[in-house]
Amino acid sequence: MCSLHVVLLQYICIVEMWLLCTGQPSCGKTTLVKKALDRILEWQHSEDACLDRKQAPNASHTKIVVSGFYTDEVLDGNRRRIGFDIVGIASGKRGILSRKSGLPSSYPETGQYSVDVASFEDIALAELNVNGATFQIIIIDEIGRMELHSQKFQAAVENLLQHQHILVIGAVTAPIYGHRVPFCDYITDGYELKKHSMLVEVMRIKKSNRETITTDYLDRLEDLLNELKVQGGANKRRRMKS
């Protein structure tokens, strides 16, 4: 490689699966996704530094892009939850996702929360944009009832299923009292039903198994990250093990 005038180091992989967690409200999905994000960012920093050390003079490489969003609880002065914010990972932007009060009565509702679809879309859609990078990791917290008030968000998630150079890590809502969300079923079960071609691995988290699932989820994430190896040359491809 050192004899070449220009060396292009790229991550070029075909991703055959997403890794999601699911569970009832307050079971720890967001906490788990944030831990996964921390692990990914540490790995990204390490891999980028490794590429910088390995590249030859006048070489270039495509670094992995990490984007997406997570949700944060919003508490009042008495530490009571009054809503949720959305936080963009690449942009760092924060906006309103939902509130118990203070939003127009015309806004759609999920339970006791009104959802600010425009504020959500302003951050989420840009974070889910397929930017043409050789490899991209997208965090989604979560594919849930509040977020799915946005048809544009639903379309963006469905679009990600068509891109095998994007690894999606995140959370998906679970049925509540038997009430299912058809789009979430489509995401999680669509591979087996041959409705889409992306294998989606889902781990169910509960308060009783939180520590075990957290370990299993992060170990599985580590396996996936370890599958991403630096490839020299733009035409080399390798399949990830599922």
Which CATH number is 146's domain given?
3.40.50
Q: At 186, is the pLDDT very low, low, confident or very high (cuts 50, 70, 90)? A: very high
User: 96 in a domain, yes or no?
Assistant: no
User: 16 in a domain, yes or no?
Assistant: yes
User: 94 in a domain, yes or no?
Assistant: no
Q: Cα separation of 113 and 15, whole Å?
A: 36
> How confident is the model at residue 52, as a pLDDT?
56
Average pLDDT along the chain: 85
Q: At 50, is the pLDDT very low, low, confident or very high (cuts 50, 70, 90)? A: low
User: 164 in a domain, yes or no?
Assistant: yes
The domain of 171 spans: 9-68+128-230
Q: Is 70 exceeded by the pLDDT of residue 73?
A: yes
Q: Which strands sit side by side in the sheet containing 81-88, from one edge to the other?
A: 109-110, 113-115, 94-99, 81-88, 65-75, 136-143, 166-173, 17-23, 199-204
> How confident is the model at residue 201, as a pLDDT?
95
> How confident is the model at residue 51, as a pLDDT?
57
Mean pLDDT across 149-165: 94
Q: Cα separation of 2 and 87, whole Å?
A: 42
Q: Total domain count for the chain?
A: 1
Instruction: For residue 106, give the amino acid letter.
Output: S
Q: At 20, is the pLDDT very low, low, confident or very high (cuts 50, 70, 90)? A: very high
State whether residue 222 is helix, strand or coil: helix
What is the reported pTM?
A: 0.84
Q: Cα separation of 151 and 141, whole Å?
A: 17
